[in-house]
Amino acid sequence: MKDLKNYIDDIDNLNSFLLNQDQKKLIKEILVNTNNSNKENLDNVFQLLIQRVKTGFVFDVAPSVDAKQIAILKKQEKLSFTNDLLNTNKNTLIIGENYDALKNLLAIERQKEQIGGGGL
């Protein structure tokens, strides 16, 4: 069975993608407190904390693309919505990858600003 120092070394050696420094510090504090109160549970607490890290959410890094290029998007009428001013109670939820669409919208707005057309 490992002692507290081994567990703390294991935490220090974990990749920074799994745990940031604040998380590592918190886990170490929990392990120290567990070691002081109930050494028999030290391994169980360590396994629980590490398992929690392994099953946590991981967010992908935003795609890195050439800032001087934009994607050409093809409109899909079936998935499109209309700007109906008479029906103001209708809300539309847009789900999906919007990165390219937002990048194109930003480029359009920059063009409008350059020619004095204003924004949205």
The pLDDT tens digits of the residues spanning 43-102 come to 888 888 887 555 555 555 555 666 677 677 788 887 776 665 555 655 655 566 677 777
Number of domains in the chain: 1
Rounded-to-integer distance, Cα 19 and Cα 17, Å: 6
Task: Provide the mean pLDDT of the chain.
Answer: 75
Q: What is the domain range of residue 22? A: 4-54
Residue 120 lies in a domain: no
**What does the pLDDT read at residue 8?**
92
| pTM for this predicted structure | 0.43
C-alpha distance from residue 21 to each of 8, 12, 13, 14, 16 (Å): 13, 9, 11, 10, 8
Question: What average pLDDT does the segment 18-32 reach?
Answer: 87
Residue 69 lies in a domain: no
Q: What is the dihedral of CA 71, 76, 81, 84, to 10 degrees?
A: 100
Query: Which residues, other chains included, contact 1 with Cβ-Cβ below 8 Å and sequence gap of 6+?
Result: 43
Residue 45 lies in a domain: yes
Rounded-to-integer distance, Cα 108 and Cα 81, Å: 19
Rounded-to-integer distance, Cα 119 and Cα 55, Å: 43
